[in-house]
Amino acid sequence: MRAVEISKTIQVPDDVEITLDGRKVTVKGVKGTLSRDFSHAPVLMEKNGGSIRVWAEWPRKKEAALVGTVYSHIRNMITGVRKGFTYKLKIVFAHFPISVKLKDKTVLIENFTGERNPRKAKIMGDTEVRVQSEDVIVQGINLEDVSQTAANVEQATKVKKKDPRVFLDGVYVYERGEG
């Protein structure tokens, strides 16, 4: 027998302001504002004072799973506008020294395994990227944009047609977290 209702409640911190417009959620905090539309998700949302309730009535398996997904997205938005997200990547090379540069909304990885043309990785959204000697630091308030930018940089240095256990050159994520 299915559950009558699946529900999750998020406690909203005092320094964060959340507005609900139907299924569109806007979160404002000290670091900025994030907005996301959940109209595709068959879940219900309501704001009760200092909390947001996400639930589905008579859920099937997919609707029950989406309650947790929407709940996690809203929690990540709250964390992003309060603390932000940081991914740290390490530049690793054995022979050819790799140099990483920024140009507009692109990360250029030059001299990767001696290649003449630079490899390119797209910077998503309002993500900030910095290069500090052997580290590439990716920061922002939107977790999806920050993690996708870090993944783009890591994938740009993927070694093809060689044994990845031997050819370890590349740019790799070694730390991720809040702040």
**7 vs 21: CA distance, rounded Å:** 19
Residues 117-155: tens digit of each pLDDT: 999 999 999 999 999 999 999 999 999 999 999 999 999
Q: Note the pLDDT of residue 1.
A: 56
Domains of the chain: 5-82 (3.90.930.12), 85-178 (3.90.930.12)
Q: Note the pLDDT of residue 103.
A: 95
Nearest to 55 by CA among 47, 64, 110, 155: 64
pTM over 0.85: yes
Q: Among 29-33, 36-40, 142-146, 160-164, whose mean pLDDT is lowest?
A: 160-164
Q: Is 62 helix (H, G, I), strand (E, B) or coil?
A: helix
**108 vs 132: CA distance, rounded Å:** 14
Residues 40-88: tens digit of each pLDDT: 999 999 999 899 999 999 999 999 999 999 999 999 999 999 999 999 9
Q: Is the predicted pLDDT of residue 2 greater than 70, yes or no?
A: no
